[in-house]
Amino acid sequence: MGVVYKLKPEIKEFIIEKKQSNPILSCRGMVGLVEDNFNIKLSKSTINSIIKAVNLSSPVGRRRKKRRRMRKIEILTQIHQEAQKPLVEVPVEPPQLEQKVVPLSDERIPQLEPEQAQTLQVEPPQLESQLVNPPIDIENLGVILFKSADYILGGTHHFMEEIKRYLNQKNENTLINNIESIIYEPLLGSSQGLYSYLTDLQQVKELPASLSKIISEIFLDISGIKFNLSNNSVFYIDGQLYTVWSTPYIPSYFSSTPYNIRCYVNKYLKADNPFVLFTAPGYEQPTKEFFEFMSSLEGAENRIASLSLYGDKLKESEVIVLPDNRKRYFIFGLWPWQFIKFRKVNKIGEFRPFIFEPLNLNLYIADVDIELSQPDVNKRFILIGCAIKLNPNDKIRLLVLTNLPYKENQGESMLNLYLNRWPNLEETFQDYSRKIEFFSYSANSRHFLSKEDLPAWEDNSQGIKSVFEHYFKILDYYVRWHFLPFGYENQDFSTVKEQFYSLKVKLDTQQKDIILVKPEVTSTYPYYKELDYACHRINEREIMFGDNQRLWLILE
């Protein structure tokens, strides 16, 4: 029993108020909230005593988690009203934008030491070694979901590199397939035929400790990237590249992993690929930070000096210095209700049909030229792009804009780049808004993905098999946290396996650059909506299988 009588009344009132506003808040979560607000660390039993005394204890035993219901806020009402307003058309001559081809650099960087913020150059991701053919006997959705989580964490790729140091095995595809077969054994069934391989691994005494160290380094929640500019100003981008933020306090739902973010940095800031954001930030006017983002990528004097990756409690885990100051390109979505007084529509062309082939998505698009201004920085940007409708008689749903050089059929090629990253449009914006709302009002708003929330981890001295079993639990946790709807982060493995992991799937690998995965369910399936949600979230992460085959999850 906790020592309740020594507590100040305001602490008791704080605990009761938080529990009343969020009944699913655990005693462990409450410990952190009390420590943050009162600089005092209480035991879970003390908190439980206070909650129990006012009859707020949760019922004992396993129970079905209720979905979190979002409260409607004024911002979403404003969004709905503003979305009805049409764009203003003011025809003028299209801008002549600079055409410049930036060569790809092959410069490499050293490996970051764990738990140290160091300055380093950027290393291109070794995609060839991480992208291998999936196991032939993939028959269930669980393997697809776990492989997607592993692609983001980078565990199998790092395991392969470490094991290759000890075993005389040069074929990386074979190594990765063997590692995956061991990790996914609870989903695939028996690992018959791999016992001799496991025996070889167990003979390397150093492996359990070295692979455990890898797990501790890759399982970090990076909530954001801090862009440090040459004039000492800063802006922030979340770990999944939804938008530019003015504050480092970004909802943990938009976090990613160090491995995934390094790949983003190499793809968008070192190579020639446009930096693709889901949406511009702000409602009535663009934010100062968003204009600094565009200016810094343009290669202006106020260049990007370095990037800082940070996570829980804003602790920096890594610093990256970009090797040059050159013009880079960006693409972002702009909603019709955004920046009405600070945009000038120079041109809207005729609408024409467009098909996004991976999802067979039929749209109508028109070329646009738009000028954006920001009063605080006294700067203007002239951008090109396309307006999107769902049918010829529909209102404009979204503008996709870019600073890419103008060329014929720019709209189609640029929109394919955007939709390949953000294919769900309004559904993604609704999910994005709900998560921001929940972050703003929930007592759990500062909760990060943490090793402390994982099942107890046995000592790695038990052998290499126990290390892989622990990584399997991490993948399960990551899937529930980032791919499934609110509430599933608290479900157990058996429940999620019954509802999702055990579902049969069809694989279509006939197209060279795409692998289509279709769960074998109908719209009457009890968890169809939840499964549809998971498909949307995974399709936004650009997961790659096979020989550079882009994964698409599709419900028929």
Angle among Cα 444, 448, 453 to the nearest 5 degrees reads: 95
Q: Look up the pTM and report it.
A: 0.75
**Cα(552)–Cα(516) distance, integer angstroms:** 5
| Residue 127, both tokens | 């995609």
Structure-token match 């690929």, residue found: 273
Q: What is the pLDDT along the chain (556 residues), one digit of tens a residue?
A: 444 445 788 888 878 877 765 555 667 667 767 776 777 878 877 887 887 777 676 544 333 434 434 333 333 344 344 444 444 443 333 333 333 333 333 333 333 343 444 443 434 333 333 333 344 457 799 999 999 999 999 999 999 999 998 887 778 888 888 899 899 999 987 655 677 788 888 889 899 999 999 999 998 889 999 999 998 999 999 999 999 999 999 998 999 999 999 999 999 998 889 999 999 999 999 999 999 999 999 877 788 999 999 987 888 999 999 877 889 999 999 999 999 999 999 999 999 999 999 999 999 999 999 999 998 888 999 999 999 999 999 999 999 999 999 887 678 999 999 999 999 999 999 999 999 988 887 655 545 566 666 655 555 566 898 999 999 999 999 999 999 999 998 899 999 999 999 999 999 888 888 999 999 999 999 999 999 999 999 999 999 987 789 999 999 8
Q: What phi and psi, each to the nearest 5 degrees, are found at residue 366?
A: -140, 140
CA proximity to 1, closest of 56, 36, 51, 39:
51
Is 31:44 a contact under the CB 8 Å cutoff? yes
Ranges of beta strands (E only) in 311-394 are 316-320, 330-334, 343-348, 352-356, 361-374, 379-389
Domains of the chain, by residue range, sit at: 4-61, 80-108+222-436, 122-219+449-553
* Inter-axis angle of helices 258-265 and 207-218, nearest 10: 60
The helix or strand, by DSSP H or E, that contains position 321, with its residue range, turns out to be none
> Tens digit of pLDDT for each residue in 267-282?
999 888 999 999 999 9
| Residue 18, both tokens | 């938080």
398-to-86, 285, 386, 402 alpha-carbon distances in Å: 11, 17, 8, 13
